[in-house]
A and B are shown apart, each in its own frame.
Chain A
Amino acid sequence: MKGVGLIFKKEWMEFSKDRRTLLFTFVIPLILFPAIFMMMTKMAQGDSVRRRGQASRIVLNDPGGVMKPFLLEETKLFQLVEAPGGDLKQALRDKKFDLAVDVEEDAPGKLRRQEPFAVKAMVDESESASELALKRLKEAMQKQDQVWVQARLEAIRAPKDLPKPTNLIIEKASDLALEMSKLLGMIVPYILLIGLYTNAMQHGVYMTAGEKERHTLLSLLSTPLPRSHVIWGKLLATFSIGVLGTVMNVVGMGLGFLILGQQAVGSEAATAGAAAAPSLSFASLASPATLGLTLLLLIPLGLFFSSIILVLGTQAKNSREAMTAITPGIFVVVMLGVFSMSPGLEKMAALPYVPVLNVALTIRKLFSHEFVAWQYLLAFVMTSGLAAAMAWVSTSILNRESVIFKQ
């Protein structure tokens, strides 16, 4: 067993001498994901946030002057603009203003007679600025309606709650953290599958076909270390680099999600005007148990992938040949990953029995707080079995001299 440790140490030493790879494997994902997420939300929100901060431009035709006073009162929400010449509809589509409001000429008379008067609004629904203006108008009118109703009630000395027989109180039950966690559970297996495979690929090939190519393998095999130790050392090194790199990816993702969530919370608070926004922390996204159980599953999955890579890498003459053999695997893994993201996955009855995919399913359930013990165990045992079988194959391959002296 000492040999395994020595080879493991040697591989890590060699790996750590390459600063650039080190950076790309461990540091970049940590920065990249948050950066991408930040950019995405900035791009998606930037527009609406900016608009929200601006008053809607209204072209108001209000001969009786009923609406004008209360619209003008809300200087932050409305800005009255002159009607541009020409076709009004076209001008609206050209974003010369956001909403055209047309109030009936007899509005003051009808208001006095307690008859409803008509307000026509012209909106361009394909423009969110125009939609926002309409929404604001509706809210403003609702508020004003209440003022007028109260005045009428007062005039007839009726109780002011007369028009409000019910009072709907809404309590939001959706848990932002759980929502985010579920979303994370959908994406995490995908990142794990691809991260494990590609990370293991790069370094596994370097340690196998790469050693043949660089003519170093023979010097290693001419030491007293048993070949099984050599392959296990390499397997564990590939595995650990793969898993660590992947974990960095997931942590980076988690950080990205936090940013995303914080912004969602922030904008919700801004629209609702509420001061107390629910806080979103790393721990609320995934409990230690969820993370622990996910990591535990990564052990057999990582070993399985690593040993596939080692088998293919050992058999190849050089890195190029190894890459040719290993690359198709990326497509398989990506396909599995994409499949594992599909929404109705949990309902497929056979899935807990499908290797690799059952790992994805289990992780997803972990993140949605729907842990099923037997499914987890099955996925774990199945993947461990596959990993052991593949590890055995890779050891027996390194014992073949036709593989070592392939020319």
Chain B
Amino acid sequence: MIQVTNLHKAFTVKDGKTKAKKRIEAVRGISFQVNPGEIYGLLGPNGAGKSTTLRMIATLMQPDQGTIEVCGLDTQKEGEKVRGRLGYLSTDMNVYERFTPRELLRLFGEFQGVDATIAERRGLYLLDKLQLTDFSDVKMDGLSSGQKQKVSIARALLHDPKVVIFDEPTTGLDVLTAKTVLDLLRVMRSEGRTVIVSTHVMPLVDEICDRVGIIFDGELYGDAPPREILGRYSVRTLDEVFFKLAAGGGR
């Protein structure tokens, strides 16, 4: 289970031209909860604050304000334990290209405290699900970016995590591969895991998310099943919700 309460995060960036420091409020008071056996979709345009929120849940960033609990553990106090229960994947993660998928999976199994042989077996099972078995002993600098992404997915799920956080998992994948990833997420749900996916690909959300939260400019709108959101904004597709939000500058 994930419990996010009143999350805040700001960055200070330097303007390249004026050299003035600028404060960006990336996340402004977000709260939501995701339950086991549920897929939660975080939607929002570029720069909305999706990745920042997910990184804070994954303990890679510290919130300025607010609390996050993962499986009842405070992310800020028990980061190591939280990471042991999390499967985290984001677009800015790549594989170690000097290794083969098998070597990588064994190694990350050990990092996760899983016995290398068990890790390898589970990793290979995942690679099989993702149709990558033929490449399990190929050095990864010879794999396509989609194939590497699949290895990353296997890497993230290798230690049987209770909570799965996928930041734009289908980026760079063809429709067939994207479908296998979504199928895998469905399996995760049926196994009672807590799943969060971020995306700006709307049909994907429609298809697999039990509930969605729409992030716009660092704030959360919605937080309901997709059908309900459509009703609330009286639109037919989730894309139109974005257009409405953009036009209204929020509400």
| Chain A residues proximal to chain B, CB less than 8 Å | 3, 6, 9-10, 13-14, 17-18, 214-216, 218-226, 401, 404-405
For window 108-148 of B, CB contacts with A under 8 Å fall at: 108, 110-113, 139
Q: Which of B93, B94, B99 contacts A14 (CB 8 A)?
A: B99
B152's partner among A9, A18, A219, A224 (CB-CB below 8 A) is A219
Pick the residue among A6, A221, A401, A404 that contacts B110 (CB under 8 A): A6
**Do A223 and B98 touch across chains, with their CB atoms under 8 A apart?**
no
Interfacial residues of chain B within 85-116, with CB under 8 A of chain A in the complex: 86, 88, 90, 92-99, 103, 107-108, 110-113
Tell me the total A-B contact number using a CB cutoff of 8 A.
67
Q: How far is the CA of A218 from the CA of B108 in the complex (A)?
A: 13
B99's contact among A17, A214, A222, by CB below 8 Å, is which? Answer: A17
Range, interface on chain B: 20 to 34
A-side contacts of B187, CB under 8 Å: none
Q: Which residue of A9, A218, A220 contacts B90 across the interface (Cβ within 8 Å)?
A: A218
Q: Which of A14, A222, A401, A405 contacts B98 (CB 8 A)?
A: A14
**Chain B positions near chain A (C-beta within 8 angstroms):** 55, 58-62, 80-81, 83-84, 86, 88, 90, 92-99, 103, 107-108, 110-113, 139, 152, 155-156
Q: Are the CB atoms of A225 and B99 closer together than 8 Å?
A: no
Q: How far is the CB of A304 from chain B (nearest CB, A)?
A: 28
B60 in contact with A13 (CB, 8 Å): no
Q: Is the CB of B92 within 8 A of A404?
A: no
- Chain B residue, CB-CB nearest to A213: B94
Q: Please indicate the chain B residues that have their CB under 8 angstroms from the CB of A9 in the complex.
A: 107
Do residues B103 and A214 form an inter-chain contact, with CB atoms below 8 A? no
Q: List 29 A-B contacts (CB under 8 A).
A: A3-B111, A6-B107, A6-B110, A9-B107, A10-B107, A13-B103, A14-B96, A14-B98, A18-B98, A214-B94, A214-B96, A215-B92, A215-B93, A218-B60, A219-B93, A219-B95, A219-B155, A222-B60, A222-B83, A222-B86, A223-B83, A223-B112, A224-B80, A224-B112, A224-B113, A225-B111, A226-B80, A401-B60, A401-B61
Contacting residue for B111 out of A215, A224, A404, CB 8 A: A224
Cβ–Cβ < 8 Å partners of B110 in chain A: 6
- Residues in B with CB closer than 8 Å to A17 are 98-99, 139
Distance between Cα atoms of A147 and B50 in the complex (Å): 106
A13 contacts which chain B residues (CB < 8 A)?
99, 103, 107
A221 to B90, CA, bound (A): 13
Q: How far is B115's CA from A6's CA once the two chains are assembled, in angstroms?
A: 13
In the docked arrangement, what's the CA distance between A136 and B168, Å? Answer: 89
Expressed in whole angstroms, the Cα–Cα distance for A405 and B9 within the complex equals: 14
Inter-subunit contact A6/B111 (CB<8 Å)? yes
Contacts of B60 in A (CB 8 A): 218, 221-222, 401, 404-405
- Residues from chain B with Cβ under 8 Å of A225 in the complex: 80, 111
Chain B residues positioned under 8 Å from A220 (CB to CB) = 111
